[in-house]
Amino acid sequence: MKAFILLKKDIRTVLRNRRELIWMILVPLILLAANFYLQDQAMEIRVALVGDVSLLPTLEERIEEARASQIKLIIWPLREREAAKRLENGAIHAYLVVTPQAARMHVNVADTEGVVAQAIFAEVIRDSNQKLAEAALAAMVDDPASFLLPMDWQVVAAGRQVSSAGQLIFSSLFVIMGVMTALSLGQQSISMERHKNTLISLRKSPLTDRQIVWAKLGAALFSTFLPLVVIIILTTYLLPETFVMDPAFYLIILAVSFNSAALGVLIGAYVRGSNEGTGLRFLLTLPAMFLAAAPVSLPPWLEKITSVVPTLVSAQVVRSYFVAGYSPTFGPLAYLVLSGVVSMSLASSCLGREE
Amino acid sequence: MNAIVTHNLTKVFASRVGSTTAVKQLTLMIKANSIYGLIGHNGAGKTTTFMLLNTLLEPTSGSGLVLGLDLVKQKKRIRNLTGLLTENLRLYDELTVEETLFFFAELYGIKAPVEELLRRFDLLDWRRQQIDKLSTGMRKKVAILSACIHRPRLLFLDEPFSGLDPLAMQGLRDFIRYLLEYNEMTVVIASHNLKELAELCDEIGVMKEGEMVVSGSLAAIKSRYGFNDYLRLQVDRLPTGLEELIDVTAPNTISVTNKPDCLGRVLAALGEQGINILDIDKEAAALEDIYQCVYQEAGQ
């Protein structure tokens, strides 16, 4: 119960510090606005064309007219084997094979971009209204008969995920909130007490070191979740329902924040100098930020590292949730919770180190 | 009864670059219900001594009893019975005076008469003021109140006078005397303000490089190092034949050691020579001078 007294004091302190609170809400809101802007601007769909390359300029022109959004469609000719390989490793979202007898499209439907590409091509080449499609094709090629064949859609679900800019920015936004904010608040919760010389007063009181670090963790989590909740409430109608209404999303943020805040508390308890602490914090969080926003798949050796270092595991968990179509991976979540508990135990034993 | 007894208490800090002995074989006795002053240069080991006596650091060797409790084996009980004001304690800027005191009282699981305390120390009008809006003197008062909100029997104050104006120092002196008088507390003060310590303390200890150089009442230390208080007498003319007993410090002003035998002989001689005393002024040996002498001697 004593820990609750300290937690209550810390929460009161957080709520009183209005300027800091406003910044904690304002900065993610700005990032979110930037996310929507970039998402709108940067949706890029890469489609390869296999077969009759002479059709390319007409096809591009036709697609440009047909699409309604700000999507940037990139089409270029490739050999089928090369196109299939690129679709498999995620370099392109789809490829279209055009022969005099048939039009066949291979799509990675695990990606938003793949699905959008499918829709656009369906509109242009094989509209549900066959007459409209015929007219469209007639306008495109000299010999429409060569195209008036059924379109064959082949779905490639096994292909690697191609991340959209929007998904990556969502991923980095929540890594900033879950990892960077929680870690920073966890560290500060202890180092500020040390800086103000109040840590000695707390350690001299009937509170045990364990109670102190757990209360500090609670306060760091409160300060992490408060802006998050406010932001989600403020932007309910803007954020995709796919994750706002998904309990798994909150489970991930909870595990990631818990782990990061615990790591922050450990750094705060162990490190005496503020510069040393800040350096360590950046060393742990910056790679996580880059990882969350990295548009490419990681090489195997880097993937091994990201499955051990807690902040990188957190970034991977958030990233894969957004990139893999909002499906959580529970193994790494369990690892995060476990390593968070270990961090707290170490923090408790470090707190009184030659105080 | 002694509030603190230590025997060869030693604290060594080990690091990669070597070890530092912060407190070296400290043997100390502080009487209960008294004010003890600890003086020494920066790094002399005063703060480490406070940390050891509050069980916030484990001694490397040696033993000690605080309020009759073992320093190593009865940490929790000692912490409940002692209060500690650390140097430069900044408290929580966002909390009010009242909230700060309630917070510390709650931690110790007691229902403190906060309103009464605030009234007693002229802080009632500021009860709802945030700590960062208070003056240094007021903040110091709140810090001391928070350190002794649980009515400790032994209170440690590390540099309580730093940053205070003369008026606030006077207030703090009264406050410490009040604690001693009404709460039967023992107070240990570490400070560089020797003038304040000389006025407040019953006993003084001088530390140098982790060692206690001298400890005892101010009078005993003065006597040990040959320091005397003086009486400055303004006379209508200078006496003759008293060169060994007096110093002429100004025209018609003589200085005499404030010891009964010496003073008696001078007064008798003045009477015999028909010299009138116009004014008397007492001049005490400054703690600064004693401190410097002790330090120099310890250095040799």
Domains detected in chain A: 2-38+164-350 (no CATH), 43-155 (3.40.190)
CB contact under 8 A, A355 and B84: no
Q: Which pLDDT score is estimated for A265?
A: 94
Say how far apart CA A157 and CA B195 lie, in whole Å: 84
For residues A119-135, give the mean pLDDT: 55
Provide the 8-state DSSP code for A161.
P
Q: Which pLDDT score is estimated for A142?
A: 54
Query: Does the structure show a pLDDT above 90 at A151?
Result: no
Confirm if B234 and B253 have CB atoms less than 8 A apart.
yes
Q: Which pLDDT score is estimated for B291?
A: 77
Nearest CA to CA, how far is B232 from chain A (Å)?
Answer: 47
Beta-bridge partners for B30 = B4
- Per-residue pLDDT band for A35 (boundaries 50, 70, 90) equals low
Q: Which pLDDT score is estimated for A243?
A: 67
B81: tokens are: 């019975």
Residue B32, sorted as left (phi over 0), alpha (psi -120 to 50) or beta, turns out to be beta
Q: Please list every residue in chain B whose beta carbon sits closer than 8 Å to the beta carbon of residue A196.
A: 89-92
Q: Which of B13, B54, B92 to mutate: most A Cβ within 10 Å?
A: B92
Q: Please list every residue in chain A whose beta carbon sits closer than 8 Å to the beta carbon of residue B107.
A: 2, 5-6, 202, 205-207
- Per-residue pLDDT band for B74 (boundaries 50, 70, 90) equals very high
Q: Which pLDDT score is estimated for A346?
A: 95
Least confident of A73-77, A269-273, B167-171, B291-295: A73-77
Q: Which pLDDT score is estimated for A127?
A: 42
Spans of all domains in chain B? 2-90+138-223, 228-284
- Per-residue pLDDT band for A266 (boundaries 50, 70, 90) equals very high
CB contact under 8 A, B95 and A12: yes
Confirm if A3 and A11 have CB atoms less than 8 A apart.
no
Q: What would the pLDDT profile of A72-93 be if each residue is shown by its tens digit?
A: 556 667 788 888 888 877 778 8
Provide the 8-state DSSP code for A156.
-
Neighbours of B113 (CB within 10 A): 13
Q: What would the pLDDT profile of A214-249 be if each residue is shown by its tens digit?
A: 999 999 999 988 888 888 787 776 666 666 677 888
Query: Does the structure show a pLDDT above 50 at A160?
Result: no
Say how far apart CA A140 and CA A137 lie, in whole Å: 5
Q: Which pLDDT score is estimated for A240?
A: 63
Q: Which pLDDT score is estimated for A68?
A: 46
- Per-residue pLDDT band for B10 (boundaries 50, 70, 90) equals very high
Say how far apart CA A324 and CA A214 lie, in whole Å: 34
Q: Which pLDDT score is estimated for A102?
A: 59
Q: What would the pLDDT profile of A177-203 be if each residue is shown by its tens digit?
A: 788 888 988 998 998 898 888 999 999
Q: What would the pLDDT profile of B105-141 be if each residue is shown by its tens digit?
A: 999 998 888 888 888 788 889 999 999 899 888 888 8
Please say whether the dihedral angle defined by the alpha carbons of residues B97, B101, B106 and B111, taken in this order, is positive or negative. Answer: negative
Beta-bridge partners for A96 = A49, A105
Comparing CB atoms, the residue among A2, A201, A203 nearest residue B89 is A201
Looking at domain B2-90+138-223, which CATH architecture does it have? 3-Layer(aba) Sandwich (3.40)
Q: Please list every residue in chain B whose beta carbon sits closer than 8 Å to the beta carbon of residue A204.
A: 54, 56, 79, 82, 84
CB contact under 8 A, A12 and B79: no
What are the angstrom distances between the C-alpha of A137 and each of A104, A143, A153?
Answer: 15, 9, 18
Q: What would the pLDDT profile of B214-271 be if each residue is shown by its tens digit?
A: 888 888 887 777 777 778 889 988 888 888 888 888 888 888 887 777 888 888 888 8
Confirm if B18 and B67 have CB atoms less than 8 A apart.
no
Query: Does the structure show a pLDDT above 80 at A51?
Result: no
- Per-residue pLDDT band for A209 (boundaries 50, 70, 90) equals very high
Say how far apart CA A345 and CA A350 lie, in whole Å: 9
Q: Which pLDDT score is estimated for A117?
A: 73
Q: Which pLDDT score is estimated for A190?
A: 92
* For the ranges A56-60, A248-252, B102-106, B109-113, the one whose mean pLDDT is highest: B102-106
Q: Which residues of B touch A (CB under 8 A)?
A: 13, 51, 54, 56-57, 76, 79-80, 82, 84, 86-92, 94-95, 99, 103-104, 106-109, 130, 146-147
- Per-residue pLDDT band for A293 (boundaries 50, 70, 90) equals low
For residues B69-77, give the mean pLDDT: 92
Q: Which of B57, B104, B106, B133 to mutate: most A Cβ within 10 Å?
A: B106
Confirm if B147 and B105 have CB atoms less than 8 A apart.
no
For residues A277-298, give the mean pLDDT: 75
Closest-CA residue of chain A to B48: A355
Query: Does the structure show a pLDDT above 60 at A355?
Result: no
Q: What would the pLDDT profile of B159-208 be if each residue is shown by its tens digit?
A: 888 877 888 788 888 888 887 777 778 999 998 888 888 888 999 998 98
Q: Which is more confident, A140 or B163?
A: B163
Average pLDDT in chain A: 75
Q: Which pLDDT score is estimated for A137?
A: 54
Q: Which is more confident, A292 or B153?
A: B153
Q: Which is more confident, A157 or B227?
A: B227
Least confident of A120-129, A203-212, B33-42, B171-180: A120-129
